[in-house]
Structure 1
């Protein structure tokens, strides 16, 4: 019989019990729920609302329940609806009257909000750590790449040559911003709603600051209505995950292309590839494709929660029970994607010769030839047109810019001299881009130092985070 059944004559239908239960999902929050109950019971005793003996019985009972859940010996009953009722029902069964006093001055509404905020903090930190791990791998790969040159692209067309290290660092900076979004989600969740009760607060002389501090929250929520109905912090987490998943998908797409026969820029490790059931020669980048594909799941979870919340009146509504499955799935999915991408990058082989060979097509030095003419006194727009004419001439001859003779060049523009050779050399083109954030080796060296510093700063951020109640198994 449900703990709320006093007002009802009949029992719930088996179908509606199953339909309304969140226990299969929110049982992953058992550590958060038990931690919240411990803090609440200790506060009630400190405030003289329950006896210290009741508190000791409650804490002992909660300890036993947690041990049984951890060992797999706890019996889950779908009739309990959710993790809160499952634990409280078992506590009452084990310790009797003292267990019935635990729910004094609280509601499931502030209880679930507390659990979910604690879970959001734990998931945010878990994802922040995985984010850092991938950034370290990207940094190491960029350092190993050294002076390897590859074509840079716009519109998937050859554009200008860049260092491979420069290209990899672009993703490191994306992930650095993702870390900040996760940190913001952590901060948004770092306020305790416990004590808001159902929606209006409570008449008991509770101490909300005490429970907040006990649970590792930096502050308490300011409005009881908002406290039990707010899921902004969860949206912040899912948004941060959605953006990071999009960044991983872009990188995965590049790896799919780069590992193809057409590119041949990288060879993925056998551990991060699969074969074909019919074509024995195949080596497929399935795990990169899965990272790309799982982005749809992560996006879908964010949109689902936005739709759940969009029309809800204050305060708590049962619709909000749908807030957890997507968030837990997103965190688990993205944690796996980050780990797979880290392993893929760590174990891949870079085919530097193929990358350099690709730089010989697509007229990658064209902009530098235009800049050469600008230095000779020609306005850039005119120089742009001249080089366009040179490219057309090369296409007709099926040759490269550097294969044109000085006579050929001067026939189109007399400003060309022997020193044009420097503007056509790929390594010189790369070395010339020394501006802050550019692809020249010296500029990339500065980037590497800054990326290392950002990783060190973010490691400090993680170490400085307040007490975390770790998640239970998500599966």
Structure 2
């Protein structure tokens, strides 16, 4: 058999067996051929440039290697052919093709100071992270547009799913935007962990060759190289951090979906999404089903499951180069990227189509005693009673109103004073205008003009601030894209300089 037909199995007496091939080796090869082919091409180019520029190989060998690599690149992943058990690994299949073109005497130089573990998963992961970040930024922009449109749309809010206080749709949506801002920070932090180059780490102890690891990192668009060579092959946080960041974000989006899903019911009737994002029933002709919220919630569950899978794959494993780190933790991470990307695009379009029903929400806010904390506050400010006493009066008032089948719009000064006399023994010096202005939902919102509160002026200020942050994050993500693209151009220039 030709020398390269058993590239790395000299220690072993046989090729991988049928069962091992069918269950592990061939599926792994196909996965890597699909996801890693062009990234291995790029790493081989960068490594060859480094070998030439450091004098570890001469330019003649370098140009032959680069010609062969370019030939493989032009043909595409199919050039590697079907899985060959004799070659065993994806990496070895590419080395075999190089050998076929220029012979092992030259092609074998690609292995100087290098073992199979490459930063290939890192290169795919950083691209996927940037795509997810762009989708998240788009959703933030959509939510900010909605918040600005609905900053005066008054609605009740809940604590423990009971009417609590009055807010606005814009104020609510800003809360989601703020949570997504934090999710963006987590994704960007994960990117920094991922974007470290591991080439030159050897099997775990580096190499005795005078390698230029920084040059290779620069040519591949990394922020730098991971220094400790054991950490290069044993570390797994570059899988765990992106998975955790995406799961965190999807939990946020799942909770948003649950609210919108509830508000979309006939009983609430607060919001309606566009028909183009809705489903029908094969039996019930009246149905308009907000399916996207169900789909996104399910994909949030998948994302948290994938995160657990990544973490558990690495749990209780040795801190070394092992398949758990190199291969198996990658699969659930890549699945998570696919699921999260679909969910973000679906939700972005769905919420952009949403129409909020301001009249219905205002009516429910007015009826549901959600402004009662402001009535207590006004009593406290108007009288010499403590807030706690005022709180007790209003609590008694609500009980009286409900026992008489009255909602908040029917409360007047006399009813308040019935409660005041019950609690303090005296009436309050108030009139109906005092009570009605305190319980008016719009007045409640305007009165809560405090930092972070629901008053339109404050919500408008927050929207402006969040748009500025969104612009900064867009520039940040664009710069990260540009760095990779600049590195690719620099690598192409360095390749050309070897031919010059």
Q: May I ask how many residue pairs the two structures share in their alignment?
A: 466
* Aligned residues of 1:139 and 1:448 also touching (Cα < 8 A): yes
Question: Which residue is 1:11 aligned to?
Answer: 15
Taking structure 1 as the reference length, what is the TM-score of the superposition? 0.93
Secondary structure, counterpart of 1:150 in structure 2: strand
Counterpart in 2 of 1:278? 283
Distance in 2 of aligned mates of 1:420 and 1:193: 69
Give the aligned partner of residue 458 of structure 2. 443
Correspondence 1:417 to 2:430: yes
Output one character per residue of 1:286-314: Cα deviation in whole Å (capped at 9) or x when no partner: 12101001112111111112112122223
Match of 1:122 among 123, 127, 148: 127
Please give the per-residue CA displacement for 1:181-215, whole angstroms capped at 9, x wherever unaligned. 11101111222111001111111121111101111
- Give the Cα separation in 1 of the matches to 2:464 and 2:48: 50
Q: Are residue 432 (structure 1) and residue 469 (structure 2) matched?
A: no
The alpha carbon displacement at 1:316 in A equals 0.7
The 1:78/1:391 distance shift into structure 2, 3 A limit, reads farther
Contact 1:256–1:288 (Cα < 8 Å) also in 2 = yes
Alignment of 1:64-463 (within 5 A): 64-69=71-76, 75-77=81-83, 79=85, 82-97=89-104, 98-109=106-117, 111=118, 114-320=119-325, 321-375=327-381, 376-413=383-420, 414-418=427-431, 419-463=434-478
Gapped runs of 5+ residues in structure 1? 471-475
Normalising by structure 2, what TM-score? Answer: 0.89
Deviation of the 1:391 alpha carbon? 0.5
- Paired position in structure 1 for 2:64: 57
Report the CA distance between 1:366 and its aligned residue: 0.9
Output the CA distance in 2 between the equivalents of 1:335 and 1:400: 45
More relative contact order in 1 or in 2 (CA 8 Å, sep 6+)?
1
Q: Which moved more, 1:242-251 or 1:415-424?
A: 415-424
Is contact 2:126–2:191 with CA below 8 Å preserved after alignment?
A: yes
**Could you tell me which residue of structure 2 aligns to residue 473 of structure 1?**
none
RMSD: 1.9
- CA shift, 1:92, in A, is 2.4
Which protein shows a greater Rg? 2
Distance 2:319 2:176 in 1: 41
Gap change, CA 1:279 and 1:88, over 3 Å in 2:
farther
Of the structure 1 ranges 255-264 and 349-358, higher mean CA displacement relative to structure 2 is found in 349-358
Structure 1 residue 78 displacement after superposition? 6.2
CA distance in structure 2 between the aligned counterparts of 1:223 and 1:468, rounded to whole angstroms: 23
**Distance verdict in 2 for CA 1:294–1:101, change over 3 Å:** same
Partner of 2:51: 44
The whole-number CA distance in structure 2 between the counterparts of 1:223 and 1:5 is 28
Structure 1 contact 215–467 (Cα < 8 Å) conserved: no
Cα offset, 1:105, TM superposition: 1.1
Displacement of 1:93: 2.6
